[in-house]
Amino acid sequence: MTTDDVLEPTAEDLAAEEAYARGWGDEVESDPVYLYLREIGQAKLLTADQEFWLATMIAAHKRVQWLQAHPKARGQGETTPRRLYCALYTEMVTAWQRALEDVARWGCDPPDFALLTAEAQMLHQTWQSDTPSYVRAYLNNGSWGKDPFWDGVAAQVVAVFTAVYALPSEVADRLVDFYNRNERMPSERTFRRYLPDDEVLRAELAAIASRAEAARTALIRSNLRLVVSVAKRYVDRGVPLLDLIQEGNLGLLRAIDKFDPARGYKFSTYATWWIRQAVTRAIAEQARTIRVPVHMIESWQKLRKIQRNLTQRLGREPTLEEIALESGFLTDEEAEAIRKALKEGKPLSPHLQQRWRFATNKVRKVFRATEEPLSLESSMGDEENNALGDFVEDTETLRPMDQATREMLKEQVQNVLAALTERERQVLELRFGLLDGKSHTLEEVGRYFNVTRERVRQIEAKALRKLRHPSYSRHLRDYLE
């Protein structure tokens, strides 16, 4: 997979298309998105060798920084450039020896230290050479990135390549001369004699840092088009294109920090995953009115894929229980036991029933959590003046017919109560909450009239017997339906 394969159409085509979509018409050259995309489209794409070299320059600086921050790794004592380079050389010799031993077990020729050093030292001048990389050609034997043993060999060879790159040119030349004459690396004492004074070594360390920053910038500029090509796939997801590009650029920076040139794959292939991850996370966090956790969005995407596959296989919409069986919320053994029991028509054990219910509820929870809310102001139908809220029933307010019936009932109740004595009417009003909607106990009514609760019960019973007479009850019987 190459960067050219991913970029289709070109950045200029994407720029013009985006500008027209944003309403710039014939003035596309004034659109900031078009200007940005046209500018990044001028950056030259990198070869796999150039990506390897740039990543090595960045890795060398990281290794130097690590040695500076860990005194035990470079030996106790004051931090000096000489101590740092001696620690780096010790690591290089160890890696070279392991590489030779592993290559011998593999049964192939060892790498050429002189060619490896010449390539590493070339990076002090330029990384834009058209000369193929000897190191990548040596490691790329068909097993790189596939065979764990050969990946171990690659890790050691790249570690040597990175360390040699960090050495001053005159030191590297003397190492090659010694190795060619003795077929081994010099001792650390001899290596110390090769090192110049600390001022020269400090200048070399500063140059390593400067070249690493330039390498990082080159990797970024050459892959900005890759960010655009990935971001374009996620338009119309609720996040503007420029925001998607910005998030994708952050993913690109993360990819540069995490990329390991010893793994054997192209940087553009590796970076595509980080860019896509950054873009999809931005959509998950920004596109929704109510933010849904990223892990929930990822679970929903997985369940949606399972749902589509089951729909194609079954020819209908699958149930939540069927989705739960494929969701991974059950162990493989539990899912297989459930399928077997269903196929044979046997009842499930209580444990399996409980586990299946748990998985189904989890699927239901994911689907509910990712539902999009609708605005009551959303227009409905062809006419924009019809809002969704106009069609939603208000369950808190009575309908006009119910309100009229309620008022008529209150009026009839008052007319019927008028036939009772004043005390009987007051007792019923308090007992059944006809005044304020609150019912009172016999004791509360008794305290109000300063009588016993038994006397209140007698008054209530007498009043109800009167109201049950057909001459009164017939006025209220129609409201019982």
User: Apex CA 160: angle with CA 222 and CA 138, to 5°?
Assistant: 70
Q: Is residue 438 part of a domain?
A: yes
Residue pair 34/18 in contact by the 8 Å Cβ criterion: yes
Residues 242 and 173 in one domain: yes
pLDDT number for residue 5 = 44
Residue, of 467 and 175, whose pLDDT is higher = 175
What φ, ψ does residue 379 adopt, rounded to 5°?
-75, 145
Q: How confident is the model at residue 463 (pLDDT cuts 50, 70, 90)?
A: confident
For residue 208 the two structure tokens come to 């390593």
pLDDT of 25 higher than 60? no
Average pLDDT value for residue range 259-266:
90
Residues 271 and 314 in one domain: no
Residues 156 and 188 in one domain: yes
pLDDT of 184 higher than 80? yes
pLDDT of 39 higher than 50? yes
pLDDT number for residue 267 = 92
Residue pair 423/449 in contact by the 8 Å Cβ criterion: yes
Residues 163 and 76 in one domain: yes
**pLDDT, tens only, 407-450:** 787 777 777 778 788 888 888 888 888 777 788 898 888 888 89
Residues 97 and 242 in one domain: yes
pLDDT number for residue 291 = 66
Indicate which CATH number applies to the domain containing 406: 1.10.10.10
Residues 126 and 270 in one domain: yes
pLDDT number for residue 35 = 77
pLDDT number for residue 2 = 43
E strand map for 141-279: none
Of 19-33, 64-78, 91-105, 345-359, which gets the smallest average pLDDT?
19-33
pLDDT number for residue 287 = 60
pLDDT number for residue 212 = 96
Residue pair 41/10 in contact by the 8 Å Cβ criterion: yes
pLDDT number for residue 391 = 67
pLDDT number for residue 238 = 75
Which of 228, 253, 245, 238 has the alpha carbon at shortest distance from 291?
238
Within 13 Å of residue 319, how many CA atoms lie on the same side as its CB? 8
Q: How far is CA 387 from CA 290, 355, 371, 390, 399, in A?
A: 21, 44, 20, 6, 20
pLDDT of 251 higher than 90? yes
pLDDT of 268 higher than 50? yes
**pLDDT, tens only, 376-390:** 777 766 666 677 666
pLDDT of 220 higher than 50? yes
pLDDT number for residue 60 = 95
pLDDT number for residue 62 = 94
pLDDT of 24 higher than 70? no
Q: How confident is the model at residue 143 (pLDDT cuts 50, 70, 90)?
A: confident
Average pLDDT value for residue range 313-318:
89
What φ, ψ does residue 387 adopt, rounded to 5°?
-100, 155
Final residue of a domain: which of 257, 287, 317? 287
Residues 469 and 331 in one domain: no
What φ, ψ does residue 443 adopt, rounded to 5°?
-65, -40
DSSP class of residue 474 equals: T
pLDDT of 19 higher than 50? yes
Mean pLDDT of the chain: 83
pLDDT number for residue 78 = 61
Residues 340 and 219 in one domain: no
pLDDT of 405 higher than 80? no
Q: Please tell me whether the overall predicted TM-score, pTM, comes out greater than 0.95 for this model.
A: no
Of 73-77, 160-164, 270-274, 340-344, which gets the smallest average pLDDT?
73-77
Q: Is residue 125 part of a domain?
A: yes
Residues 235 and 108 in one domain: yes
Residues 80 and 166 in one domain: yes
Q: How far is CA 465 from CA 416, 458, 475, in A?
A: 13, 11, 15
Q: Which residues of 2-13 are buried (b: 16+ CB within 10 A; e: fewer)?
A: ebeeebeeebee
pLDDT number for residue 242 = 85
User: What is the total count of domains within the chain?
Assistant: 3
pLDDT of 178 higher than 90? yes
Q: Is residue 233 part of a domain?
A: yes
The pLDDT > 90 percentage for the chain reads 39
How many CB atoms lie under 10 A from the CB of residue 471? 10
pLDDT number for residue 88 = 93
pLDDT number for residue 1 = 42
**pLDDT, tens only, 74-132:** 555 567 899 999 999 999 999 999 999 999 988 888 999 999 999 999 999 999 988 99
Q: Is residue 380 part of a domain?
A: no
* Domain around 192: 43-287
Tell me how far apart the alpha carbons of residues 399 and 230 are, in angstroms, rounded to a whole number.
54
